[in-house]
Amino acid sequence: LMQIYRPLNFIGFVYREIRQGLTDIEEMFKLLDRAPEIQDKPGAKPLSVTGPVVKFDDVKFHYDADRPILKGISFEVPAGKTIAVVGPSGAGKSTISRLLYRFYDVIEGKITIDGQDLRDVTQESLRAAIGMVPQDTVLFNDTIAYNIRYGRPGATDEEVRKAAELAQIGHFIESLPKGYDTPVGERGLKLSGGEKQRVAIARTILKGPPILILDEATSALDSKTEEDIKSALDVVSANRTTLVIAHRLSTVVNADEIIVLRDGQIAERGTHHRLLVKQGLYAQMWNRQREASEAEERMQRVANDP
């Protein structure tokens, strides 16, 4: 029976591999389908970064015409400051980061960097000026050193190590038997969401862009990982014009301004303390989250000490 079973099992394996390959190809075509929508204008100039000051001016956006996502958003990120965008799930927070990176163009209004409309500059120069730490970083099937060095291919081993340390992931990498030569990605060591995000932060520290977009991971992280990520983000965002898309509120306390998005509009704005005093939507979200994390800590204590 085993003689029949083994080849059948193997065929099953090959079939699954091919299926997976097909879905990847489908994904690729979906991406290719999208790409031509955004093109450089004839005569587009390279972005000239001075501040940099990022400005959203009455921005309206939808993916599908019958469902508006952003209904007229205005805010400014002053040079070197940090603005955090918070709000309920689906409010349009990540959409704001996608528009700043120009994955899509605004429908109405405009986004400028140092007064230049994103649609008037070359995409290459725009993306060179922005470091994006996405929610879910895709790692290459290569070593962890390669994945960090991707931020600046000419970086030395020492610079890669330094970036990893600043991103609070150096210690973890050094504890692996093969250290920086450990293969990661789908075919190597699978990193947790928090570890992947710190690899992305190390990559961005090496790239050293003047503007930063941090799209915080949605998933809940344990409090140690949360702290590590917070310190890594503090390092990378110091003196950079930073837009934080916060799904968990943990990184927003020190932001220069917090923008609370609801239903595609700005419902409230201000510092953490002012918004708490206001007792509005932000205060509600903050209290709910605190209760949830306290409950989780209680569960942890019970689990550790039965």
The conformation of residue 181, written as its DSSP 8-state character, comes to G
- Minimum Å gap between C-beta 292 and ligand ATP is 15
Site for ligand ATP in 215-254 (CB under 6 A): 218, 247
For residue 150, the minimal CB distance to ligand ATP (Å) is: 25
**Going edge to edge, which strands form the sheet with 241-245?**
130-133, 211-215, 241-245, 82-86, 257-262, 265-270
Distances in Å between the alpha carbon of 269 and those of 55, 75, 92, 105, 112?
15, 10, 16, 25, 20
Verify binding: residue 27, ligand ATP, rule CB under 6 A. no
Take residue 157 and report the two structure tokens written for it.
């081993």
Q: Which stretch binds ligand ATP (CB under 6 A): 44-52, 62-70, 252-260, 282-290?
A: 62-70
Minimum Å distance from CB 85 to ligand ATP?
A: 8
Specify whether the CB–CB gap between 199 and 140 falls below 8 A. Answer: no
Contact of 169 with 178, CB cutoff 8 Å: no
- Report the amino acid identity of residue 203: R
If the CB atoms of residues 94 and 143 are measured against ligand ATP, the closer one turns out to be: 94
Nearest approach, Cβ of residue 69 and ligand ATP (Å): 5
Instruction: Give residues 66-125 in contact with ligand ATP (rule: CB under 6 A).
Output: 69, 87, 89-95
CB of 103 to ligand ATP, least distance (A): 9
- Positions in the binding site for ligand ATP (CB under 6 A): 63-64, 69, 87, 89-95, 218, 247
